[in-house]
Amino acid sequence: MKIIQIGHYQLRRIGEARVRNEHKFHYGFIRNGHDTLHVSDRDLSAFYSPLGIRKLGNKRLNRKLIEGCERFQPDMLMIGHCDSIENKTLLEIKHLLPSVKMAYRNFDALYLPRTSERIIARQNIVDHIFVSIAGKQIEQYATAKTKISFIPNPVDRAIESMDNSQKVHFDRDLLFCGNGKPADPRFEIVQYVKQQLPRIQFDTYGAIGNPAVWGTAYEKVLAGTKMALNLNRTEGEYLSSSTRLAQLIGNGILTFVNEKNGLQLFLKDRAVFFKDQEDLVKKIQQINDDDDLRIAISSAGRVFYHEHFSSEKITQYVVESTLELPFSQDYIWHDGMTASSHNG
């Protein structure tokens, strides 16, 4: 199958990429045997602009995408967070290639206003929408022409290649990475943990006055981490988490997760779930004092995540769902988490 993936590949951030979901999808498609081209929309918009200003290059980018699809003749388009690609461009591609199928992926939280706006903008244009949130809250985005499905944050064996579950020496006991406003509730939790556990080496990046780290610098931080907090800005969206979850568990780092999001449905005893900040502090201390328990949980988490949420498995699910093909394997997240078409 021939696939064109459109999304921010961060070509200009050499060695300093932030979130790498586009790379994971690209690797997954290729490992599954799909001939895949990647269109890095933001990089190309700047390239096509004489002044390097992305908005000035968008018109040419859209025209080039149409021309490229006409030449490459893809069976499917995988569309990421790329507002520069206009719906009229996608409709023109469908006119030129009537059999092409289109999927749209959005991994942002629904409590962010732009997330809902972006999803609605692709309704009735694409065939299938994929989000990293499940439950009834996503059913509102399904239409007679567009289905919507949950997919987990993918892990990739080439990117999440470390296994900290087998290490015994670390630079830090506990890690939290995350940007946001000082008033975000998760920063209150971070401060509370620091106050209650002063003897634990707890490093924070992007929070409490410390700068964020990206790319190789972030990988080095992960390599020296025993345990980490996975805290969303707002908790409670069913099965929702940032891609940080895959980065932590996929690298064998013992991960603490808020139970409000329901991720224990999958992860169970493969991560440590807490109900409030007092419960979190108690469990951090317990795991920090019991290395055998830490190794057992983090090892099981890493094995499970790589087996069930790999980039190969998730991209094949996307292909089979979008093209309405019979499933070639079991996908543990599928049953009851897909919203079919509603009356539009």
Q: Is residue 344 part of a domain?
A: no
Q: Is residue 7 part of a domain?
A: yes
3-state secondary structure (DSSP) of residue 257: strand
Total of domains in the chain:
2
- On whether the CB atoms of residues 321 and 147 are closer than 8 A, the answer is yes
CATH (domain of 206) = 3.40.50.2000
Regarding whether 317 and 304 lie in a shared domain, the answer is no
Q: What is the mean pLDDT of the chain?
A: 93
Regarding whether 132 and 233 lie in a shared domain, the answer is no
Regarding whether 304 and 325 lie in a shared domain, the answer is no
Regarding whether 232 and 125 lie in a shared domain, the answer is no
List, in order, residues 6 or more apart from 168 with CB less than 8 Å away. 291
Confidence class of residue 18 from pLDDT cuts 50, 70 and 90?
low
Regarding whether 27 and 137 lie in a shared domain, the answer is yes
The CA–CA distances, whole Å, from 232 to 47, 221, 257 equal: 35, 20, 9
Say yes or no to pLDDT of 310 above 90: yes
How many separate helices (H) and strands (E) can be counted in the chain?
12, 12
pLDDT confidence of residue 268: 93
CATH (domain of 137) = 3.40.50.11010
Structural element, H or E, at residue 175: strand 172-177
Regarding whether 32 and 111 lie in a shared domain, the answer is yes
Domain that holds residue 124: 2-154+311-339
Regarding whether 204 and 141 lie in a shared domain, the answer is no
Confidence class of residue 335 from pLDDT cuts 50, 70 and 90?
confident
Regarding whether 119 and 203 lie in a shared domain, the answer is no
- CA 3 to chain centroid, in Å, comes to 20
Regarding whether 204 and 136 lie in a shared domain, the answer is no
Confidence class of residue 103 from pLDDT cuts 50, 70 and 90?
very high
Q: Which of 5-19, 62-76, 136-150, 261-275 has the lowest mean pLDDT?
A: 5-19
Q: Is residue 159 part of a domain?
A: no
User: What are the tokens at 83?
Assistant: 């507002």
The CA–CA distances, whole Å, from 321 to 98, 261, 318, 324 equal: 18, 25, 5, 5
Regarding whether 112 and 83 lie in a shared domain, the answer is yes
pLDDT tens by residue, 45-100: 989 898 888 888 899 999 999 999 999 999 999 999 899 999 999 999 999 999 99
Say yes or no to pLDDT of 232 above 70: yes
Say yes or no to pLDDT of 344 above 80: no
Regarding whether 86 and 222 lie in a shared domain, the answer is no
pLDDT confidence of residue 342: 39
The DSSP letter of residue 155 is: B
Q: Is residue 14 part of a domain?
A: yes
pTM above 0.75, yes or no: yes
pLDDT confidence of residue 56: 87
Regarding whether 266 and 236 lie in a shared domain, the answer is yes
| 269: β partners | none
Say yes or no to pLDDT of 340 above 60: no
